[in-house]
Structure 1
Amino acid sequence: MQTELLKQQVLKVHPDDNVIVALTDLSAGETITYGGETYVLTDNIPQKHKFTTTDLQPGEPVIMYGVLVGKALKPIPQGGLISTQNLKHAASSYSGKNKEYTWTAPDINKWKTRTFNGFHRSDGRVGTANYWLFIPTVFCENRNLEFIKDALNKELGYGKTEKYKNYTRQLVQLYQQGITPDAMLDTDLEINEEHFNTRRLFPNVDGIKFLTHQGGCGGTRQDSAVLSALLTAYIDHPNVAGATVLSLGCQHLQLDDFRQEILKRNPGFDKPLFMFEQQKSQSEETMIADAIKQTFIGLIGANKQQRKPASLDKLVIGVKCGGSDGFSGISANPAVGYAADLLVGLNGSVLLAEFPELCGVEQELADRCINAEVAAKFVHLMKSYSAQAEAVGSGFDANPSPGNIRDGLITDAIKSAGAAKKGGTAPIVDVLDYTEPVRKPGLSLVCTPGNDVEATTGKAGSGATLILFTTGLGTPTGNPVCPVIKLSTNTSLAKRMADIIDIDTGDIITGQATIERKGEEILEYCIRAASGEVIPKSVQLGQDDFIPWKRGVSL
């Protein structure tokens, strides 16, 4: 994709496409010339939406990104807008690996000797942060974790500023002064930062994180087993220095089983791990006090760890999109994909997930797998997932949200073909089921839902130490242990939601940057974030989203 193409009003993404993307609002009757062809628009074409290059009859295919993304429901004239009224989802069938795949890595010479400053673990992995975890084995302990969270974060310097408490206090004062509701609405109030202890007692510990959840009991035993595997993955995560676990005692997820799960995942596990069971304690107060004391001692040890140089092959980057728009597949996602290819060329690891958002490009991905066994696992997981959704009357075609559709992603296949660009072009070395750890350098696929938080939760569970998250609409998602870096697909969003966006890729749309240059910029930002030199907005805002997937139908 060349810059000079993006300087135009429109873009044809792939030579085989029979739709063209509007890079700016276009009007009915307007004449568009592109690639030596002339098109007269029969409809208004909003920015990010598409118009057809030929007349289409009902049942005829619509091709975008070089793949089938839908079929016409009714006649669509050349130059006509495609919409949910005239287009339905369609995707090509797929099987296992059908052909060999060759790949030429991008030029990585400038990064070969580069390093980042990370936290080295005894098993050879390197974290980009140093967190302490509090984990409940069952939702009954969430309340106790809230007490501990309030005490430790404020006293140890990890609390956030309380600007909204101050804002609310002003409203209380107005009410007490007898100000009417209408007058309150017309009164300008200040949102001031109200600081408490923000100087960290333990400067080498980046935070204390609390993984509250609604599982551990009351569901199926399978749900508890999956939850156990996920929580174990977080404790074993390279960004985690140690953990404190609270258990009630009678829940499905028993502490003995939890210990065995940890050793099963990592037989050499040697991090400090403190476990407390309420039904065996003298009192709730005693258990909470003991948990705080033991953790404090653990934090003293964790604080002795310091960042040290590590080669870039130690980076594990997850790639994710959420709140996508019609520009996602032509700006942010391919730019992230180029950064992913650079990291793979450096022998690092990249995790591409969101299986419902790979619908329509399955065969391309299967053919990119390094062997038939890896491709077969991918195909099995995709078809099982799809069948499960269809069994309850849904399907991957139901994936696009109203926001996606409003901003040009009319079918799941259109959304998916653009979403897959985040994974770059490298061969697929492995396919991981939910909570399976990354085992090989290179590009791996991870089975997760498309749901933003469930997907980021799963990526961190497989070992991502940074996550690149692209958005066209603006999505305030983060993760407790894995810094999430937000990239906007368009400059308007970057300006409007500057408090959550780290990198703007909208300059690709305006022709001011190339995919390659922006991909290099993204990798450079990752190196700085991995070294603690820059703190992503999601971390600054405390966006610690954590939702375990129960393996039910979630798109």
Structure 2
Amino acid sequence: MEAMDVRVLQIHPNDNVLVALQDLKVGESVTFGGRTYVLVEDVAAKHKFFTDDLPAGSAVMMYGVLVGRTLHDVRAGQWMNTANVAHAAEPYAYRPYRYRWEAPDVSRFKNRSFMGYHRNDGRVGTANYWLFIPTVFCENRNLDVIREAMHRELGYAVTDKYRAKTHMLRELYERGQNVASADLTVKESVVPVDRLFKQVDGIKFLNHQGGCGGIRQDAAILGKLLAAYADHPNVAGVTVLSLGCQNLQVRDFLDDLYALNPKFDKPLLIFEQQRSQSEEQLITDAIRQTFVGLIEADKCVRSPAPLSKLTLGVKCGGSDGFSGISANPAVGHCADLLVALGGTVLLAEFPELCGAEQNLIDRTIDAQAAHKFIRLMKGYSEAAERVGSGFHMNPSPGNIRDGLITDAIKSNGAAKKGGTSPVVDVLDYTERATKPGLNLVCTPGNDVEATTGKAASGATLILFTTGLGTPTGNPVCPVIKVATNSVLAERMADIIDIDCGPVIDGKRTIQQMGEEILEYCIRAASGEVVPKAVQLNQDDFIPWKRGVSL
């Protein structure tokens, strides 16, 4: 039997392109599936080449589905790129549910637990944060003042190494020495202040640019988003700062909060600047009362919880041509394991489900949820098209440069993060997941807007795959970075937690890698390991205004 060339991969038997796992040069021969292909031009790793001569307008198949059409005649062995292929995807429609899922073997995890923070409503957090919320952007400066004071004094500030480097530059400049090429190595690591409250993992601040000045619908959605964060299981208590005259009134926020959770019982401190005697009084009172609240929050300790209490968000950003064949399917297997254990998984980024819709619709158990997905997808797509954009414009220059040349290619690879389990529910932006299993959540593909939305829907951990590297994090939900390739994992080790490069190298199967990812999630949920984004205080938060954001 003729051996397959390990330098290439066919994702699905119906595909008419092969993925280069290594750089391939013009004139090289590649043998795969009983055929030999001679490359007619260079094909870089992560990119694809055609397996057949195709006339203009021909379907380009990948992941077993339509991902594009040829713009002109192409030859077998030719590099597939934006000059010869344009985005295309099959139409989709509701079909009665007949999906049959074969759950993975979870015997390895059946009796496992994680050490979490149990809340009175039965949910379990993977962290214990105190949260500061401004109802309007006018309070951002006050939040910054409070952050500077409390982070540094209570032991939550990031290492001072960059402050030390800046101090070194100042001293050199004051002595008249050259600063352009000075060695800024910090010889002794700066010892951080010990954390006063050992059971409080952080004090987080949701600075944003909303709450007033925009349309009232934006303020209304912001209120629901902030309420979802206040009610998040990773949050122990909340301090709210309001100006007083903004569109998003404190009363509106409270209405949203108690509509979401009528039994909300966490400490909730509210300060309104236009009713205070001075800025100093406002900030002093906020710090004093929050400090008292932190004393109580510190009494909550981690205790065992079943893995069914985990809610896992899955996200990709800075994707490359390996995302859909290493990190995303490995995360997808982890997602399947968690679903089989009774946990909850959130798959979002609707612009990055373009071309994968039919598969997801066919997997949706409830007809009403399936129709909701269709309505949200079509409404979102039409809104983009009305302003001269569209889902087909979702791939970024970095995506295209690394092999994701159409949105359908990017989307079908991105959908792999959700695994193969049935879809139990479809959620609009800020709606909370209440059903165990795989949930679809309507968010943009934008990294921060998507992670912001996942946390609002209840994610207590987020697995974030990346092929190009991105530092994205979240204020209340630990974000775990999963690299698609080992080159990235080694080069950006300061932001990457898990390396899926061994899948590309053939040293791990997707299933083995998925199990390793779940093991890491258990440790992160228990506080045994701190993801890099959390260590760096990478607290990214961008509310979606429901405008056209891809």
Amino acid at match of 1:292: I
What is the aligned partner in structure 2 of residue 507 from structure 1?
A: 502
Amino acid at match of 1:430: D
Contact 1:370/1:428, CA 8 A, preserved across alignment: yes
What is the aligned partner in structure 2 of residue 167 from structure 1?
A: 165
What is the aligned partner in structure 1 of residue 210 from structure 2?
A: 215
Paired with 1:43 and 1:223, the residues of 2 have a C-alpha distance of: 50
The answer for unaligned runs of 5 or more in structure 2 is none
1:385/1:302 CA distance change after superposition, 3 Å = same
Amino acid at match of 2:31: T
What SS is found at the alignment partner of 1:143? helix
What is the aligned partner in structure 2 of residue 402 from structure 1?
A: 397
Query: What does residue range 261-340 of structure 1 map to in structure 2 within 5 Å?
Result: 261-340=256-335
What is the aligned partner in structure 2 of residue 69 from structure 1?
A: 67
The answer for unaligned runs of 5 or more in structure 1 is none
Paired with 1:394 and 1:44, the residues of 2 have a C-alpha distance of: 32
Corresponding pairs, count: 549
Contact 1:156/1:197, CA 8 A, preserved across alignment: no
**How far is the alpha carbon of 1:98 from its aligned partner?**
4.6
What is the aligned partner in structure 1 of residue 116 from structure 2?
A: 118
1:72/1:168 CA distance change after superposition, 3 Å = same
TM-score (norm 2): 0.98
Paired with 1:206 and 1:16, the residues of 2 have a C-alpha distance of: 49
Amino acid at match of 2:53: D
Q: Which deviates further from its counterpart, 526-535 or 166-175?
A: 166-175
Give me the CA root mean square deviation. 1.3
What is the aligned partner in structure 2 of residue 30 from structure 1?
A: 28
Determine if the alignment matches structure 1 residue 426 to structure 2 residue 424. no
Q: Which deviates further from its counterpart, 348-357 or 286-295?
A: 286-295
TM-score (norm 1): 0.97
Contact 1:154/1:196, CA 8 A, preserved across alignment: no
What is the aligned partner in structure 1 of residue 146 from structure 2?
A: 148
**How far is the alpha carbon of 1:7 from its aligned partner?**
7.8
What is the aligned partner in structure 2 of residue 17 from structure 1?
A: 15
What SS is found at the alignment partner of 2:334? helix
Query: What does residue range 80-479 of structure 1 map to in structure 2 within 5 Å?
Result: 80-179=78-177, 183-191=178-186, 195=190, 197-479=192-474
Amino acid at match of 2:199: N
Contact 1:28/1:41, CA 8 A, preserved across alignment: yes
1:7/1:74 CA distance change after superposition, 3 Å = closer
What is the aligned partner in structure 1 of residue 40 from structure 2?
A: 42
Amino acid at match of 1:268: K
Residue deviations 1:8-66 (CA, integer Å, cap 9, x gap): 10000000000000000001111110121211111101000000010111111100001
What SS is found at the alignment partner of 1:110? coil
**How far is the alpha carbon of 1:178 from its aligned partner?**
2.1
Amino acid at match of 2:65: V
**How far is the alpha carbon of 1:287 from its aligned partner?**
1.1
**How far is the alpha carbon of 1:364 from its aligned partner?**
0.8
Paired with 2:199 and 2:114, the residues of 1 have a C-alpha distance of: 16
Contact 2:97/2:364, CA 8 A, preserved across alignment: no
Contact 2:159/2:192, CA 8 A, preserved across alignment: no
Paired with 1:210 and 1:195, the residues of 2 have a C-alpha distance of: 24
Residue deviations 1:159-192 (CA, integer Å, cap 9, x gap): 111111111122222222223xxx4333322145
**How far is the alpha carbon of 1:198 from its aligned partner?**
2.2
Paired with 1:193 and 1:141, the residues of 2 have a C-alpha distance of: 37
What SS is found at the alignment partner of 2:258? helix
Q: Say which of 546, 549, 552 aligns to 2:541.
A: 546
Amino acid at match of 1:445: L
Paired with 2:181 and 2:438, the residues of 1 have a C-alpha distance of: 54
**How far is the alpha carbon of 1:509 from its aligned partner?**
0.3
Identical counterparts, % of pairs? 67
**How far is the alpha carbon of 1:366 from its aligned partner?**
0.4
What is the aligned partner in structure 2 of residue 79 from structure 1?
A: 77
Paired with 1:435 and 1:351, the residues of 2 have a C-alpha distance of: 12
Amino acid at match of 1:528: R
Q: Say which of 520, 525, 530 aligns to 1:525.
A: 520
Amino acid at match of 1:52: F
**How far is the alpha carbon of 1:308 from its aligned partner?**
0.4
Contact 1:6/1:510, CA 8 A, preserved across alignment: no
What SS is found at the alignment partner of 1:249? coil
